[in-house]
Amino acid sequence: MDLNLAVLIDGDNIPSAYVKEMMEEIAKYGNPTIKRIYGDWTNPRLGKWKNVLLENAITPIQQYGYTQGKNATDSAMIIDAMDILYTGKVNGFCIVSSDSDFTRLATRLREAGMQVFGIGEKKTPNPFIVACDKFIYIEILKKEDEEEDSTASNKTAKVTKNSVDRITAKDIRLIASTIDDVADDDGWAFLGDVGSLLQKKQPNFDSRNYGFQKLTPLINSIKSIEVDRREDSKGRKKLVYVKMADKPKSRSTK
């Protein structure tokens, strides 16, 4: 069953160019029944947002900056989030910001049984990232859109390539330990279970960060991991199992 999501966007902290891709991404996880964006709309800096709000049915919330150097937008978002929480109309939140000030809010919402998705730029501080159930870097959403445009220039392709993270030894160790955590006696683990546990261990883990649309091709690119595709009990689809290549097989007791 889809989650009913409250989407709260920090207009002072997120570029307007990402709205279309961002809303499409959010729709993968639930139904965005509440969509609000916060900022001082008298500020010319937010002018670009005004052109995309109607197209995406996002309600702008005016918040004046009463004190110089203080972010009134953050306070307004936090107050509204708690009000929405107590209405009981949603069972999940999507907080769109790169600001660590929302760390405590994400933690509090999860304590109340809400699923919390975070979306922000790669500069987002780690405390906010780990406070969410899942955190998505907004740059990879824009990158996907650029890749789909087959007429994109070589310059755009170069920018897209450079935005992809390299799989490090640390990433491989994380995947290996996760496989080991859910593996059977022979060292094989169902990839779906591996992906779920990876998300819990590291909310910002996303195969798209490394240039892969899905987890399976990412795993296929790692030479130290074996992949086995098995038919389900009804023979209708292939189930993917993985094992570290150096994992010894258990001996038969027969």
* Structure confidence by residue, pLDDT tens digits, 61-103: 987 765 454 466 788 899 999 999 999 999 999 999 998 889 9
List of domains in the chain: 3-160 (3.40.50.1010), 169-244 (3.30.420.610)
pLDDT of residue 248: 55
pLDDT of residue 165: 79
For 186, residues 6+ apart whose C-beta sits below 8 A from its C-beta are 243, 249, 250
| Among 42-46, 147-151, 226-230, 235-239, the range of highest mean pLDDT | 226-230
Of residues 160 and 142, more confidently modeled: 142
- Whether the predicted pLDDT of 57 surpasses 60: yes
pLDDT of residue 162: 46
pLDDT of residue 134: 96
CA 250 to chain CA centroid, nearest Å: 37
- Whether the predicted pLDDT of 147 surpasses 80: no
What percent of the chain is predicted at pLDDT more than 70? Answer: 83
pLDDT of residue 175: 95
Q: How far is CA 244 from CA 24, 142, 188, 250, in A?
A: 35, 33, 8, 14
- Whether the predicted pLDDT of 235 surpasses 80: no
Q: Determine the Cα–Cα distance for residues 76 and 90; give it in Å rounded to an integer.
A: 19
- Give the chain's length: 254
| Mean pLDDT across 32-40 | 92
pLDDT of residue 96: 95
| Mean pLDDT across 149-158 | 39
pLDDT of residue 216: 93
pLDDT of residue 105: 95
Q: Determine the Cα–Cα distance for residues 219 and 171; give it in Å rounded to an integer.
A: 11
Structure token pair of residue 101? 């000030």
Q: Quick check: helix, strand or coil at residue 83?
A: helix
- Whether the predicted pLDDT of 176 surpasses 70: yes
| Mean pLDDT across 13-26 | 88
What percent of the chain is predicted at pLDDT more than 90? Answer: 59
pTM, two decimal places: 0.81
- Whether the predicted pLDDT of 149 surpasses 80: no
pLDDT of residue 231: 83
